Amino acid sequence: MENPNPGDPIIPVTAKFRVKLTKEGLIEKLKSRIALRGDLMRDNVEITDTWCPIAGFRAFKMFLAMAAHYRKRIYQLDYVTAFLQADVLGRKFTTLPKEWKEMFKNNHEVHQWLEVPLRLNKSLYEDRVANLAWDETQSRWLTSAEIGFERLPSERSIYRKITDKGMIMVLNAVDDQLYFATTPELKEWFEQETDRRFDVQKLGQAEWYLQSRITQLSDYSIILDQSRYAALVAGRYLGPVDDSQIPTSVKMKYASPLPNGTIFSKQDCSISYADVITLQEEFGFKYAAAVGSLIYLMNTFIKLTFTIRKLAKFMQKPGRRHFEVLKHLLKHIQCHRCSAGIKFYSDIKLSPLYQMMIETGNAEHAEAPLILFTDSSFQDCPDTSKSTGGYRLFMKGGVVDNSSHLAGVVCHSSCEAEYCHATSGLMGASFVRKVHNELLGYNSDRHLTIPLGIDSQSAMDTANSHKETSRTRHIARRYHYVRFAQMNSETTLFKVDGTRNPADSMTKALTAEQLDDEASLFHVEVDP
């Protein structure tokens, strides 16, 4: 109990109720929490920068790839009411409501704390900087001289400790933590130290993280999938369906994520918001909400990246055609939700990507730590005449990063489109290279050549030659990043056939057969 100074915020508390679900989507337990009234807080209360690092899927997938590389099991910790274990940031006061007298009528000691200012020593849920407070508390402990972890400069959600006994690596996502160690002694030491400092629950081998399933195989390969999240999304907007009740004919009808002949255009948009509301009532779901759910699904359903990114362009006033395509995509996901696992191989030679590299005459790049593929479709956007392009970046046989987007400029040739998107892919890969180096204990700028597969010979010639011609001299200087990267051995280009390019589906709609053939390079079937 302490009297606040003039200007100190006094934020009352409230009760919050939520449902915790199991990994199958069933109710595990009902929870109640005492939380601050965040809506009554002044902006951030003395804290101007509230950002803190939380594990995203790129870091998550690279972490899994490293565990497969070291051939180690991944374990999981859950910090119990983590925010209540964090030191509060700034001076904050709260008050407990007088209505609690009835709740604690048999505990009169509590009555003296009601309706008086109480200074917080620990953070509370709904504090706008609770995440930051927890991150600083945990990071301060992990990087202390006693514990000795190093926080990766390029990916702050990952910590690493290297000793003469081995290495241990930690991935943080607020109160959920994954870790693996190269020796049993390091694993046991970390668990004991964590248990001594925090109230924590050891969950054993990791199975469920960021709403995705982790399957650790006997050979130490790892499969990541969102099949159950996919079922929840499809069920939410179409109604739940038992997989065994879906006829084969329906699965064949929706084998492709897009209807035949789909072209995405603003010409199909609704004229008014009233038209959008009418369509929402007709189709039974809100367009923006459904697409938003699918955007998170792209983290593992990477074969659908092109389709989802195109649908996301029409969030404001989607038209009937957009609703029809979205419904078709949801049907495809409902019928084929178990087709999009990502596998990281403990032995890279067992991966389909390695076999493809051997078969296409690129054996010298088959075992590279990182392998990049890019592709582009020339002026395929009917609204802007811009070219859609994309890239996929592989590590340990699985995709750790990918993107599908329009070029920033209107390209004048297919060569220019391929070249510009090769630049975008290589720029994205340069960051992953930094993280990869740090994961292995090296300096982030350590030299590492990333092979880049392109299916355009003219784009390769542009990168390999400094000769400027009437067809290439208009290309903006920044797109020659590929050329300079090759000069510095940051990348090396190799030719890949267009039908075997793993980035092909990032740029265009493929038939079901074409998509399945490409997806066999980076997706595996998973159990329901």
Identify whether 353 is part of a domain.
Answer: no
Final residue belonging to a domain, choices 210, 234, 255: 210
- Same domain assignment for residues 390 and 491: yes
Q: Are 215 and 524 in contact (CB under 8 A)?
A: no
- Same domain assignment for residues 45 and 179: yes
Does pTM surpass 0.75? yes
- Same domain assignment for residues 457 and 388: yes
Identify whether 347 is part of a domain.
Answer: no
Q: Are strands 27-36 and 208-209 parallel, antiparallel or unpaired?
A: unpaired
Identify whether 488 is part of a domain.
Answer: yes
222, with CB counted inside 10 A (0-12, 13-18, 19+), is buried
- Same domain assignment for residues 330 and 370: no
106, with CB counted inside 10 A (0-12, 13-18, 19+), is exposed
The number of domains in the chain is 3
Report the distance separating Cα 220 and Cα 238, nearest Å.
37
- Same domain assignment for residues 277 and 400: no
pLDDT at residue 110, as a whole number: 79
- Same domain assignment for residues 318 and 427: no
Q: Which amino acid is it at 116?
A: V
Identify whether 373 is part of a domain.
Answer: yes
Identify whether 36 is part of a domain.
Answer: yes
Report the distance separating Cα 345 and Cα 71, nearest Å.
9
Q: Pick left, alpha or beta for residue 45 (phi over 0 → left; psi -120 to 50 → alpha; otherwise beta).
A: left
- Same domain assignment for residues 190 and 121: yes
Q: Pick left, alpha or beta for residue 176 (phi over 0 → left; psi -120 to 50 → alpha; otherwise beta).
A: beta
- Same domain assignment for residues 64 and 146: yes
- Same domain assignment for residues 46 and 137: yes
Q: Are 353 and 521 in contact (CB under 8 A)?
A: yes
**Sequence-separated (6 or more) residues with CB below 8 Å from residue 327:** 238, 283
Q: Are 258 and 509 in contact (CB under 8 A)?
A: yes
Identify whether 235 is part of a domain.
Answer: no
pLDDT at residue 478, as a whole number: 64
- Same domain assignment for residues 498 and 382: yes
Read off the DSSP letter of residue 475: S
* Boundaries of domain holding 66: 13-210
pLDDT in tens, the chain (528 residues): 678 888 777 888 888 888 887 777 778 889 888 888 877 776 545 566 778 899 999 999 999 999 999 999 999 999 999 999 999 988 888 888 888 878 787 887 878 888 888 898 999 888 888 899 999 999 999 999 999 999 999 999 999 999 998 999 999 999 999 999 999 999 999 999 999 999 999 999 999 999 999 999 999 999 999 999 999 999 999 998 998 899 999 999 999 999 988 999 999 999 999 999 999 999 999 999 999 999 999 999 999 999 999 999 999 999 999 999 999 999 999 999 999 999 999 999 999 999 999 999 999 999 999 999 999 999 999 999 999 999 999 999 999 999 999 988 888 888 889 988 999 999 999 999 999 999 999 999 999 999 999 998 988 888 877 666 655 555 655 667 788 888 889 999 999 988 889 999 999 999 999 999 999 999 999 998
Q: Pick left, alpha or beta for residue 182 (phi over 0 → left; psi -120 to 50 → alpha; otherwise beta).
A: alpha
**Sequence-separated (6 or more) residues with CB below 8 Å from residue 204:** 75, 76
Report the distance separating Cα 136 and Cα 88, nearest Å.
10
pLDDT at residue 521, as a whole number: 96
Q: Which amino acid is it at 20?
A: K
Q: Are 70 and 186 in contact (CB under 8 A)?
A: no
Identify whether 228 is part of a domain.
Answer: no
Q: Are 517 and 505 in contact (CB under 8 A)?
A: no
DSSP letters, 410-451, are: --SSHHHHHHHHHHHHHHHHHHHHHHHHHHTTS-TT----EE
pLDDT at residue 44, as a whole number: 47
